[in-house]
Amino acid sequence: MNQTINQLTKRKSVRVFTEKPISLESKQAILDAAIQAPTAGNMQLYAMIEISDKKIKDQLAQSCDNQPFIAQAPLVIVFCADYQRFFDGWRFFVDQNTRPPLVGDLFLAMSDALIAAQNTVVAADSMGIGSCYIGDILENYELHQKLLNLPDYVLPISMIVYGYPTVPQQNRIKPTRLDLSAVVHQNQYSSLSKEQHEYYVTQRFKLANQNLTVQQYYQDFYSRKYQAAFTVEMNRSVNQMLQRFLIKNVE
């Protein structure tokens, strides 16, 4: 295994940070890694907002499903899909009346934002700096739009918090993954049978020395990740975000 693959295999989320600050040099390396990411047509349809203001961090810790460790992180970056920059450029220099960005344009911008985000995670990890994605930035769109001064075509897609891991975080066991064959398909997608669900889930928990049944596994995610209050807010909020990209009867 080469060093890169080894690093990707070992990487896990970090949610408790030491007091050690992230140097300007390291922060620059993290941001430089983002900008080297591939983007659709090299348009770089993303924006990174560094949150250095303690009050904004505190607000985000609350509005992103009450996760206090967000406020403790020495570096916090919100990754946005940004179609505003090109939209404005086109209106300034090409056609004042150009069409607004639509949902396909948004999907490309979201891809750009997330790929750049993952580059920062890998770069940070290579310097011993831990990180954790915060998907709850998708909640409370109206509040975040005001807080971060987001124009109409800039949407917050993910937030990442970075910092040096405490020793217990370093020693925390990385959560196991499903076997590759549960997620790799050849040429065409094939749904798992009930028995295959049972097999893959049981196998995953055997690896982690846990004794969960397949029912418990699905019930747990159902309650915590699908029926939980945060999902109601997240789906409401994302619906709001999407409104201006969804124009009916697009030719």
Q: What is the binding site for ligand FMN (CB under 6 A)?
A: 12-13, 15, 67, 132-136, 158, 174-175
**Which CB atom, from 102 or from 122, has the smaller least distance to ligand FMN?**
122
If the CB atoms of residues 8 and 247 are measured against ligand FMN, the closer one turns out to be 8
Q: Which is nearer to ligand FMN, 69 or 90 (CB)?
A: 69
Could you give the 3-state DSSP secondary structure of residue 154? strand
Q: How far is the CB of 106 from ligand FMN (least distance, A)?
A: 17
CB of 175 to ligand FMN, least distance (A): 5
Q: How far is the CB of 241 from ligand FMN (least distance, A)?
A: 15
Phi, psi values for residue 16, rounded to 5°: -130, 125
- d(C-alpha 82, C-alpha 31), whole Å: 16
Closest residue to ligand FMN, based on beta-carbon distance: 135
Residue with smaller CB distance to ligand FMN, 100 or 128: 128
Minimum distance from residue 141 beta carbon to ligand FMN (Å)? 16
Q: Which is nearer to ligand FMN, 13 or 203 (CB)?
A: 13
In sequence order, the 6+-apart residues with CB closer than 8 A to the CB of 48 are 31, 34, 77, 78, 79, 80, 116
Tally Cβ neighbours within 10 Å of residue 144: 24
d(CA 85, CA 45): 8
Candidates 52, 176, 75, 83; CA nearest to 134 is: 75
Please state the closest distance from residue 14 (CB atom) to ligand FMN, in A: 8
Sheet with 130-134, strands from edge to edge, namely: 46-50, 75-82, 154-163, 130-134
